Chains A and B, each alone.
Chain A
Amino acid sequence: GEDVEQSLFLSVREGDSSVINCTYTDSSSTYLYWYKQEPGAGLQLLTYIFSNMDMKQDQRLTVLLNKKDKHLSLRIADTQTGDSAIYFCAETSISGGYNKLIFGAGTRLAVHP
């Protein structure tokens, strides 16, 4: 079945790079997503990657996709305290005409001075 796995915690020093990893199971996922959840708020789409891409860069964010290993990573360069949040990886699964999102458990990123 569909499953998305992430490590639960990551602690980094301000200014360092953060790398959040994710593995997924559905090889037919056409898009893979990273959502960000700040304390007390809902999820917001951070970035996404199309399955025929290996890498996508967006300012401080770099997404790497290894389709063979079904591995997705999110790198945040020059991590700031404002990046402290929970980051969710999500794959897509089409069921009954509906394009569902399957979320991982989320990685809590703590940024310390």
Chain B
Amino acid sequence: NAGVTQTPKFQVLKTGQSMTLQCAQDMNHEYMSWYRQDPGMGLRLIHYSVGAGITDQGEVPNGYNVSRSTTEDFPLRLLSAAPSQTSVYFCASSSNRDRVYNEQFFGPGTRLTVL
């Protein structure tokens, strides 16, 4: 199993550009989520999905869109990049079999810089 994969590893954008961060998992996990990591602030939840076709907003959703057309893929779209979106983005997945215990499996991250 590859686990959770993310592409690209690094990206530089200009303000106003759009792009999609890719995330895929091969563990047949129902739950997937996107976090951003900023210095001194830990990980903050952007969007999450509890299954194909179902998404919801997390703590910091503004400026980001998601969709979940398959169990495996959960792309994150930046519609018009802003310098405040400079961050490291992590995708994570987890199984819903035990609604209480929630081990999340993380991808290696995408480091995004917006100029």
Contact for A43 among B41, B44, B90, B100, CB less than 8 A: B90
User: Judging by beta carbons under 8 Å apart, are B42 and A105 in contact?
Assistant: yes
- Complex Cα gap A100–B99 (Å): 10
Q: A8-B40, A41-B108, A98-B56 are in contact. List 7 more A-B contacts (CB 8 A).
A: A33-B103, A41-B109, A42-B106, A42-B108, A43-B43, A88-B43, A97-B50
User: In residues 68-102 of chain B, which contact A (Cβ within 8 Å)?
Assistant: 90, 92, 94, 99-102
Task: Give the contacts of A61-113 with B (CB-CB under 8 A).
Answer: 88, 92, 94, 96-101, 103-106
Residues of A within 8 A of B (CB): 4, 8, 30-31, 33, 40-45, 48, 88, 92, 94, 96-101, 103-106
Q: In residues 19-48 of chain B, which contact A (Cβ within 8 Å)?
A: 31, 35, 40-45, 48
With contact pairs A42-B90, A96-B56 given, residues A104 and B100 touching in the complex (Cβ less than 8 Å): no
Enumerate chain B residues within 8 angstroms of A94, measured Cβ to Cβ: 99
Q: A103-B42, A103-B43, A105-B41 are in contact. Are A44 and B99 (CB under 8 A)?
A: no
Cross-chain pairs A/B with CB under 8 angstroms, 28 sampled = A8-B40, A31-B100, A33-B103, A40-B108, A42-B90, A42-B108, A43-B43, A43-B92, A44-B106, A45-B103, A45-B104, A48-B101, A92-B100, A94-B99, A98-B31, A98-B50, A99-B31, A99-B94, A100-B45, A100-B48, A100-B58, A103-B35, A103-B42, A103-B43, A103-B44, A105-B40, A105-B41, A105-B42
Given known pairs A101-B104, A105-B41, A106-B42, the reply for A42 and B4 (CB within 8 Å) is: yes
**Interchain nearest-CB distance for B42 vs A (Å):** 4
- Identify the 4 closest CB pairs spanning chains A and B, nearest first: A42-B106, A105-B42, A103-B42, A99-B102
Nearest A residue to B104, CB-CB: A101
